[in-house]
A and B are shown apart, each in its own frame.
Chain A
Amino acid sequence: MHAFRNILRIEARLYLRDLPTLLLTVGLPTVILVVLGLVPSLRKPDPTFDGQTFVSYFAPSLLVVTLAMVGVNILPAVLATYRERGVLRRLATTPAHPAALLAAQLVLALAGILASALLLIVVARLAFGVPLPRHPLGFTLAFILGTAALLSLGLLVAAVARTTRAAQALAVPLFLVTMFFGGVYLPRFLLPDVVARIGDYTPPGVQALLDAWTGAPPQALHLGIMAVIAVVAGAGAAKLFRWE
């Protein structure tokens, strides 16, 4: 516990030292939100979105940006680099276990995701009148399960990739697919219906987030799928992860 705390402190410092990446990770969704929110027509209620504004409709997709960046891109890249450079192996020779470093990275990933989501929700509320999530409990649950599913996939990538390059080769397509089905590249109402429906079930489960934020409680099936993905990918990662 003692070693974990010290490692977490140092790793947090290393993140803060890389300020551009940190700002991009935490702030990018909010920046996109602000840019879109400056377009007046996107702030008008529209029947396409059940009488919501486009900004409200699109906000959950913006949550996907940080989740995807941190979960399937940064986390596996950092872990694969630490393994390839022998950082984990060196730690294995000391009384501290390399799992402490992995845990510290997970905590930091969660912190980044949480900071980014809070910033987005608060700015959306204050600047563009997007209501706070209507179903706070359902939203929190959808967010936690979606995050868990993506982080587990990220860990699985870090587990099966032997090198940093291999991790990148797996992470980039996974990142693009997550962003695509999450409706980041093209808003979901413009996607063919079947693609949008697939997106309901790909992590982090953007439909559940949208439902809980602006409409009905999230559907149990949507949440259940995220839980299954989190557990299966997480168990796979735990089984396959190598420290060197």
Chain B
Amino acid sequence: MPVIEVTHLKKRYGDLVAVDDVSLAVEAGEIFGVLGPNGAGKTTTVECVAGLRVPDGGGVSVLGLDPRRDAAQLRQRVGVQLQESQLPDRLRVAEALELYASFYRNPADPAELIDKLGLGDKRNTAYKKLSGGQKQRLSIALALVGNPEIAILDELTTGLDPQARRDTWGLIEQVRDSGVTIVLVTHFMEEAERLCDRVAVIDRGRVVALDSPAGLVSTVAPEQRIRFRPSAPVDDRLLTDLPEVSAVQRTGSQVVVTGTGELLHAVTSVLARHQIVAADLRLEQSTLDDAFVELTGHRPAN
């Protein structure tokens, strides 16, 4: 049974249609990604799920509750990390977590959470003095301190350096392994590919695709490319006759074969049958990046 169900969600700000028609369902225990170009309606969608905005139309159900009517109950059970949400400069790490823990009926142990998030030696440091990565980890900790069943994380790693980003990803996987369902809003394709069980791609207020990252790539951008240097001359027809192959090109001594499906297996088998060794063999597959461009016509911001 899904823990979040959004059906035909609509939200307008004056003349601007932020969310036109979004439907999606998030299953318990998964990491669900919400992808899309800037201004596509990702944040508005999750803000409606979190009960921070009132939809103009459609339905939202979270843990079987209505985010507006049952707000008090949901705030106990859903943790939210908002985009660009800061804390007072002089507030210290431990103070922030202890304060936020005190709002919940059944909170996590702040001290334990601080250690788990690698902020142990920063517990008495003022917010202002934390690095970007530390601020982000504190922000995640605040979203988790109420022991939520669902955590909604918006633009989790924006502004972090690559190492901090990887550390944060590891952390999110740990959180999921402890049984929390995670909704991740992101425009980093690498992040979605690494973390998400399923992703919804939102463009201009609508869901344009909903699948696992790998499923999305193979349906939207199925093309693969193999490059190699053959040990003996290869007749092009040998390759073009294969059903998996769509084109063969040559650049210098290199052969480039484009195609779909089990392309690698088909090409290497036919070469082996003719006792040709493929040197410097490389397989290039589409990434979620390519699928994203196919779907939205935008380069992912990076």
Residues of A participating in the B interface, judged by any CB pair closer than 8 Å: 2-3, 6-7, 10, 13-14, 17-18, 82, 85-87, 89-90, 92-96
Contact sample, A vs B, 20 pairs, CB 8 Å cutoff: A2-B102, A3-B102, A10-B91, A14-B88, A14-B90, A14-B91, A85-B85, A85-B86, A85-B88, A86-B86, A87-B85, A89-B82, A90-B80, A90-B82, A90-B142, A93-B52, A94-B104, A95-B75, A95-B103, A95-B146
Residue in contact with B84 in the complex, picked from A6, A86, A96, CB distance below 8 Å: A86
- Label chain A's interface by main secondary structure: helix
**Within the complex, what minimum Cβ distance (angstroms) separates B262 from chain A?**
47
Residues of B participating in the A interface, judged by any CB pair closer than 8 Å: 50, 52, 72, 75-76, 78-80, 82, 84-88, 90-91, 95, 99-100, 102-105, 142, 146
- CB-based nearest B residue for A85: B86
User: B90 to A18, Cβ gap below 8 A?
Assistant: yes
| Cα–Cα, bound, A177→B52 (Å) | 38
**Within the complex, what minimum Cβ distance (angstroms) separates A207 from chain B?**
38
User: A94 to B100, Cβ gap below 8 A?
Assistant: yes
Residue from B85, B105, B142 whose CB has the most chain A CB atoms within 10 Å: B85
| Cα–Cα, bound, A7→B84 (Å) | 21
| Residues of chain A within 8 A of B85, CB atoms compared | 85-87, 89-90
| Residues of chain A within 8 A of B72, CB atoms compared | 95
User: B75 to A93, Cβ gap below 8 A?
Assistant: yes
| Cα–Cα, bound, A10→B92 (Å) | 10
**Within the complex, what minimum Cβ distance (angstroms) separates A41 from chain B?**
44
| Cα–Cα, bound, A89→B80 (Å) | 10
| Cα–Cα, bound, A6→B76 (Å) | 17
| Residues of chain A within 8 A of B105, CB atoms compared | 95
- CB-based nearest B residue for A100: B103
Residue in contact with B104 in the complex, picked from A13, A14, A95, CB distance below 8 Å: A95
| Cα–Cα, bound, A163→B50 (Å) | 24
| Cα–Cα, bound, A18→B91 (Å) | 11
- CB-based nearest B residue for A243: B52
| Cα–Cα, bound, A43→B50 (Å) | 64
| Cα–Cα, bound, A26→B146 (Å) | 38
- CB-based nearest A residue for B73: A95
Residue in contact with A96 in the complex, picked from B78, B87, B91, B103, CB distance below 8 Å: B103
| Residues of chain B within 8 A of A89, CB atoms compared | 52, 82, 85
| Cα–Cα, bound, A6→B102 (Å) | 8
| Residues of chain B within 8 A of A14, CB atoms compared | 88, 90-91
User: B103 to A10, Cβ gap below 8 A?
Assistant: no
- CB-based nearest B residue for A10: B99
User: B99 to A7, Cβ gap below 8 A?
Assistant: yes
- CB-based nearest A residue for B78: A93
Closest 7 CB pairs of A and B: A86-B85, A93-B80, A85-B86, A96-B103, A90-B85, A95-B75, A95-B103
- CB-based nearest A residue for B77: A95
User: A87 to B88, Cβ gap below 8 A?
Assistant: yes
With A14-B90, A14-B91, A86-B84: A93-B50 Cβ-Cβ less than 8 Å: yes
| Cα–Cα, bound, A21→B292 (Å) | 51
| Cα–Cα, bound, A139→B104 (Å) | 44
Residue in contact with B86 in the complex, picked from A18, A87, A92, CB distance below 8 Å: A87
User: B88 to A82, Cβ gap below 8 A?
Assistant: yes
| Residues of chain B within 8 A of A92, CB atoms compared | 52
**Within the complex, what minimum Cβ distance (angstroms) separates B183 from chain A?**
13
| Cα–Cα, bound, A86→B82 (Å) | 8
- CB-based nearest B residue for A93: B80
| Cα–Cα, bound, A96→B100 (Å) | 9
| Residues of chain B within 8 A of A2, CB atoms compared | 102
| Residues of chain B within 8 A of A86, CB atoms compared | 82, 84-86
Beyond A10-B95, A87-B87, A90-B85, 18 extra complex contacts between A and B, CB < 8 Å: A10-B99, A13-B95, A14-B88, A14-B90, A82-B88, A85-B87, A86-B85, A87-B85, A87-B86, A90-B82, A93-B50, A93-B52, A93-B78, A93-B80, A94-B104, A94-B146, A95-B72, A95-B103
**Within the complex, what minimum Cβ distance (angstroms) separates A163 from chain B?**
14
- CB-based nearest A residue for B100: A94
| Residues of chain A within 8 A of B80, CB atoms compared | 90, 93
| Cα–Cα, bound, A96→B72 (Å) | 9
| Residues of chain A within 8 A of B99, CB atoms compared | 6-7, 10
| Cα–Cα, bound, A10→B146 (Å) | 19
| Residues of chain A within 8 A of B146, CB atoms compared | 94-95
- CB-based nearest A residue for B88: A14
**Within the complex, what minimum Cβ distance (angstroms) separates A19 from chain B?**
11
- CB-based nearest B residue for A92: B52
Residue from A3, A10, A18, A93 whose CB has the most chain B CB atoms within 10 Å: A93
User: B87 to A94, Cβ gap below 8 A?
Assistant: no
User: B90 to A94, Cβ gap below 8 A?
Assistant: no
**Within the complex, what minimum Cβ distance (angstroms) separates A75 from chain B?**
15
| Cα–Cα, bound, A40→B182 (Å) | 72
